[in-house]
Amino acid sequence: MKSSQLAEGIARELSQQIAARQLAGGAHLGAQALADRFGVSRSPVREALKILCDAGVVEQKENRGFYVASFAGAGAPKASAAILEEQESPYQRIANDWRADLLPEEVTEQLLRDRYGVTKAQVQEILARAAREGWAERKAGYGWRLLSVARSPESFEQIYRFRMVIEPAAMIAPDYIVERRRLEELRTAQQRMLDYDIDHLPVEKLLEAGSHFHEELIKFSNNPYFHMSLVRVNQMRRLLEYRAAYTPQRFIEQCTQHLAILELLGRGEVIEASYAMKKHLHDALDRKKKLMLARGA
């Protein structure tokens, strides 16, 4: 495995964290600490930091090491986004290859490390996430088994039609009670996506934020089975979501509709919010079906 492959992967992951403001401007990036975290030597870490330096995301201070650029809250995220868009994340690449039948049903961590140029720690994190999202499981002996769930447009449509039943219904359930504090937190998060996140975060983070919004709203039903069901189908549909072609405009429309639903709930217009949720999901299904068909899904 070439060190440059490792370095590019480490640079992408660090740039994600900088773009998401998980690493603040001025934060020190110790080469040894990063090497320990990624399970690699210091060499690919230093190479990754130089990639980020060239992009203006990280700055090197003489005799002091590497630091997140102090202007990362303003200009640097654009450079960070460019790095992120250079290629899909290893997780997305593996998910897309599994969808396209380019991977065997049974794989080992070493096979994935060699094929995708990722570290041991990265491949373990990828497989753990795939297991959480319902399309991979560890074999009783050695290796992993990839599962055939939500890999077709038909199963994707069935998931959305299920959501169109349970999410609007949950809103008009007798025990549905809106928590004002949580409602305001959701409103703030959606506005932050419009103001900042859409332009600076990778697609998978934006998709996770969308799922989180719906899962938090359904909690207001005070029925754990509604919430459990939605979490499960959201996990299953992500395998297909990563295949769709997403544009900033698609996320702007999503956030705008989310804010409209929150506004209705804030005014106590629950029936209207339920109808808006069903229309929101119906429109999302139509849009995503067209996107996947356009890409040959």
CA-CA distance, 56 to 138, in Å (whole number)? 40
pLDDT reported for residue 291: 66
CA-CA distance, 287 to 297, in Å (whole number)? 14
> Could you tell me the end-to-end alpha-carbon distance of the chain, in angstroms, rounded to an integer?
31
Instruction: Locate the DSSP E strands across the chain.
Output: 28-29, 58-61, 65-68, 106-107, 136-138, 144-146
**Residue 149, φ and ψ in degrees, nearest 5:** -125, 140
For the purposes of burial, counting CB atoms within 10 Å of the CB of 108, is it exposed (0-12), middle (13-18) or buried (19 or more)?
Answer: middle
Residues 6+ apart with CB under 8 A from 45: 7, 10, 31, 34, 35, 38
Helix, strand, coil tally for the chain in percent (to 5): 65, 5, 30
How would you classify the pairing of strands 106-107 and 65-68?
unpaired
Domains and CATH numbers, the chain: 3-84 (1.10.10.10), 90-146 (1.10.10.10), 153-294 (1.20.120.530)
CA-CA distance, 23 to 18, in Å (whole number)? 5
Q: At what angle do helices 90-99 and 120-132 cross, to 10 degrees?
A: 50
pLDDT reported for residue 242: 61
The tokens describing 237, both together, are 């549909």
Contacts 24+ apart (CB under 8 A), 254-258: 254/210, 254/284, 255/190, 255/191, 255/193, 255/194, 255/198, 256/194, 257/283, 258/186, 258/190, 258/210, 258/213
Per-residue confidence in pLDDT tens, the chain, 297 aa? 444 667 877 887 788 777 767 777 888 999 899 988 888 888 888 888 988 888 788 888 888 899 988 754 444 444 444 444 444 678 878 888 887 789 999 999 999 999 998 888 889 888 988 887 778 899 988 899 998 766 667 878 889 999 999 999 999 999 999 999 999 999 999 999 998 888 877 777 788 889 999 999 999 999 999 999 999 888 777 766 765 556 788 899 999 999 999 999 999 999 999 999 999 999 988 887 776 666 554
pLDDT reported for residue 86: 43
Residue with tokens 């809103």: 171
CA-CA distance, 152 to 256, in Å (whole number)? 29
